[in-house]
Amino acid sequence: MFPQVAEAWADGLGVFATQAEAARLEINARETSAVTSAAAASLSQVAAQSAQAIAQAAANNRGNWSSLTGALALPASVFHNGFFWVLLQSLANVATAEPGVSAAWVPVAYPGASGTAPDDSVRHRHLGAAAYTDMRIGPWGTATNATPPTIANGAQATFTVPVPGAVVGDLVLPPVLSISRAGLTVTAEISAANTATVVYSNTTGGSVTLASHTVTVYILRGI
């Protein structure tokens, strides 16, 4: 009886070895897939965090760098020498850290010199894609004597800016103001053909009154 059992066991070793190897390969493949998925998730998280940081900086545009003094905390962006700049670190004195000179800033867009035709291009990298998408400033417009009323805490005020060539759905960069925003969040959207609506939002905790100023709105378009 034992020889027959031993022979059957020995014959089964070949099948078992094949099954064991198949199981090993499957486990290895699943482990590789898990590692790849974890790495992809990590990259996606980094990309999301980077995009969020840039969006927060854009939403907190402080206007012209030359008009700023004192401390400047993240997130923030400014306009200087024809470029938009995103702040990488909080500054004790913004006046001593000039964009383009100080490593505290990184450029994100160049508006060019024309008021209607697209000009210089900006490279925008899509994480995980093999190619770049060229982005450039398209139509832009400026309005002078913008004088929103006193804005109570929690309230908003609006002002329209003519932007020749703009269409509803265009991507609008944060408006550039000729004065300090006094803590207000200022955004814009193309509300109708050739027209941008600038929105002043007050979450400062008190009422804010801005002096008459100039507002410039830029459109960012893909090439």
Tell whether 215 and 157 lie within a shared domain.
yes
Residue closest to 135 by CA, chosen among 108, 161, 153, 113: 108
Beta strands in the chain (DSSP E): 61-64, 77-80, 83-87, 105-109, 121-125, 132-146, 156-162, 171-172, 176-177, 185-192, 195-201, 213-222
CA–CA dist 103, 79 (Å, integer): 16
In this prediction, residue 113 carries a pLDDT of 37
Which CATH number do you get for residue 216?
2.70.40
Residues 6+ apart with CB under 8 A from 27: none
Q: Return the pLDDT at 222.
A: 65
Q: Give the predicted TM-score (pTM) of the model.
A: 0.47
Q: What is the mean pLDDT of each run of 10 residues along the chain (223 residues)?
A: 52 55 60 49 46 57 86 84 78 90 73 40 44 61 85 94 88 85 90 93 93 87 64
- One domain for residues 98 and 140: no
Q: State the total domains in the chain.
A: 3
Q: How is residue 77 written in tokens?
A: 């962006």
| Residue 88 domain boundaries | 60-109
φ and ψ at 69, to 5 degrees? -140, 160
Is 97 in the same domain as 121?
no
